[in-house]
Chain A
């Protein structure tokens, strides 16, 4: 279809949808006055039942923890997919030669950059671990902290350079961390079944209010998610950065030999 035809079709459809959307908007509960009792019941019951203060983490890792397993493995699936797509015919080798664009000057790395990045990467990683560990008490948790840890890996790249970085943050190790994190979550869900309790039950001691290790199984699950997310994002970063490497030899095969 021509571009005009496509756009006309879309605009006609949006014009038809506009009054419908308006009706729905008018019929929704007024903004700021929701009628749902689900969330308020959680706010009322869970702090005492599980001795945690972060309700979002409680919902994510305990009350609706089973959703989070699916979500965690979704991240794994996407990482696997991106890995398969980017490695493609390239294989698992690490390219040591940076791709060169003609006329572009490759500057060396200043000593100051290396020093700052080394210090900052360690501090950032510690901060990420802090955010993960305190997930059940203050805002944060496995997802947020895991992404921060993965970002600290980028700072390592900035400080050390690509080949050294790939040898520090090895892909098989990251994949192992990722896989074991997800597996730990699944095990935490399956172990209560052996005792005849429902899956993902909270079978560990609950700890004290506002303490670091409060929430029982939530602590384990939180840490597992942190590992899995850090591993996933680290792998994705590594695979995307590998694309900046030049070919080892100048001719690349242009047909896929499968």
Chain B
């Protein structure tokens, strides 16, 4: 076995082992030990996976657990064991998880002292599960890591024990548990048809299956489960409730990697397992792309109407997940490359923004942009970070996020409606963040618009860390996004090709100046509209405001907070996808 093959399982085993040790000795350890151990382990995982990604440029690194390689069974159609397969893309995403966890641990330093390192245990298990999710080549193993990720997330969300945190965690748990049962049912159906749980063997059977209802049913169930975790319409309702009440270091991870890795997992399955079946590909290209566009627009519009900063950021995450889903829906090629780059860029920016929200909660005791009007002028470095992040979200033509966005634009260029949805979503979310930043840090604002009726809550977080300790990881993340996009683009195209064992996807020509500047111009126009808004005095103005309240208010009513509603929407979404599969 080569060195890379030997070290591959350590990316998962080390966080698991350290987490188990921290739990066993929790009663006797000081909190500093847990802080140091977690940052070290996260850094180790990031470095190891980055090295594995480099080693994998010649071909994926495969590790068969227990030595149960395909040769042991003596039959070509039976694979007995579980494999980890680290290709460039999967290892790079796993390394990104490690990086973001290290930043979150730094941000959470000394925040969770009272609970005997239980927070660190849960986060380390969460990290191990995400790395396992990215690297595995076995469908049931995918389910196991998916579940571990979910359980750690449920516990971390309920952590603050405030009333909203408990309700948010409850909704999160119920909706995602229903989704995971659907995933298990899908795995069972695929096993029944193909007799195997390995991606490549199932892929072979699925390729020959044609329009088999079992295979289609299995795909729909697994897709709905991953779309629920990836917060796409109509399965997205849980995300705003969960992200806005979880502690800030945890929200960094949720929005930064957890939800996007679910979509990465979906894209991997679409390409490796279901890629050989033309009926499923039709469904993916026909249905998922419209789900993505709808998610982008709905998420962005709802984000615009929020005043609680964490809720705003949660909805903007939903919008960006919609954009990423359009990349998944192109099933390989340039869309896949765009997805990879966008995932990293968005994760860095969103992580940094949640850290800013956490800083405001700790230092100013609120996350409501209207309550905080002008109150943070002394914290101008934080404001600069937030404004820069907002501009990047809104499409500033530099950096990794823009590179990913450009690739995704190219991927959907045959559907101008979808492209328009992408641009609109980018602009609205960027403008929302900038509006909040200007209000809070500069005291510049127009009259409050639809966000005045947004839901909000009084809360605060403990203030035990110096500002520089909290600001450093946030600033570092934003600086990382500003890396030149050409480097990122080359790696993303290499990764997208490596996922299917082919050479790098062909390059695309750079966008014209107009196309590059369109999103950020639109962002600034929307922002200007918000800043120039005045309270309506005349009747026409008042009628306009009342008319505006309807759609935005309607969106607010839909996000009711009732778990029964969320589950009903999810089942309706499953029904819709199944009917579409029968029809397309």
Contacts and interface: CB of A to CB of B under 8 A. Distances in A.
A and B touch in the complex (CB under 8 A): yes
Interface of A: 1, 3, 6-7, 9-10, 12-14, 16-17, 20-21, 23-24, 26-29, 34-38, 41-42, 45, 62-67, 69-71, 73-74, 76-78, 80-85, 87-89, 171-172, 175-180, 182-183, 186-187, 189-190, 193, 196-202, 256, 258
25 contacts: A1-B562, A10-B572, A13-B575, A20-B213, A20-B582, A38-B191, A67-B144, A73-B20, A74-B151, A76-B125, A80-B122, A81-B122, A81-B155, A82-B155, A83-B118, A84-B115, A84-B119, A84-B155, A85-B161, A178-B23, A182-B24, A189-B65, A197-B1, A256-B160, A256-B161
Contacts of B79: 38
Contacts of B483: none
B77 A28 contact: no
The 7 nearest A-B residue pairs measured at CB: A179-B24, A81-B155, A36-B195, A172-B27, A182-B20, A16-B575, A70-B144
Contacts of B574: 13, 17
B484 interface: no
Nearest to B195: A36
Given A17-B578, A67-B82, A77-B122, A28 B189 contact: yes
A66 B572 contact: no
B13 A190 contact: yes
Interface residues of B, number: 91
Contacts of A34: 192
A45 B9 CA distance: 26
Contacts of B217: 20-21, 23-24
Interface stretch (B379-387, B438-446, B531-539, B563-571): B563-571
Interface string B546-572: 000000000001101010110111011
B391 interface: no
A66 B144 CA distance: 10
Interface string B209-222: 00011100100000
B23 A80 contact: yes
B80 interface: yes
A65 B66 CA distance: 8
Contacts of A189: 9, 13, 65
Interface in B133-184: 138, 140-141, 144-145, 147-148, 151-152, 154-156, 158-162
A199 B13 CA distance: 10
Given A36-B195, A175-B24, A80 B17 contact: no
Interface stretch (B67-75, B297-305, B520-528): B67-75
Contacts of B194: 36
Contact of B214 (A27, A186, A199): A27
Nearest to A177: B24
A182 B27 CA distance: 17
A118 to B, nearest CB: 28
Contacts of A201: 66-67
Contacts of B85: none
B281 interface: no
A179 B24 CA distance: 4
Contact of B9 (A3, A29, A199, A258): A199
Contacts, number: 243
Nearest to A35: B195
A183 B148 contact: no
B148 A77 contact: yes
A73 B19 contact: yes
A256 B161 CA distance: 8
B25 A176 contact: yes
Contacts of A74: 144, 147-148, 151
Given A17-B574, A81-B158, A197 B67 contact: yes
B515 interface: no
A1 B558 CA distance: 7
B328 interface: no
A41 B80 contact: yes
Contacts of B28: 172
B398 interface: no
A80 B145 contact: no
B261 interface: no
Given A20-B578, A36-B191, A186-B20, A41 B75 contact: yes
A38 B213 contact: no
Given A70-B132, A189-B13, A180 B144 contact: no
Most chain B beta carbons < 10 A, residue from A1, A34, A76: A76
Nearest to A20: B578
A34 B214 CA distance: 14
Contacts of A199: 9, 13, 63, 65-66
Nearest to B152: A77
B24 A77 contact: no
Nearest to A193: B6
Given A28-B214, A70-B144, A17 B575 contact: yes
A98 B159 CA distance: 27
B82 A73 contact: no
Most chain A beta carbons < 10 A, residue from B26, B74, B154: B26
Nearest to A176: B24
A201 B77 CA distance: 23
Contact of B64 (A36, A84, A198): A198
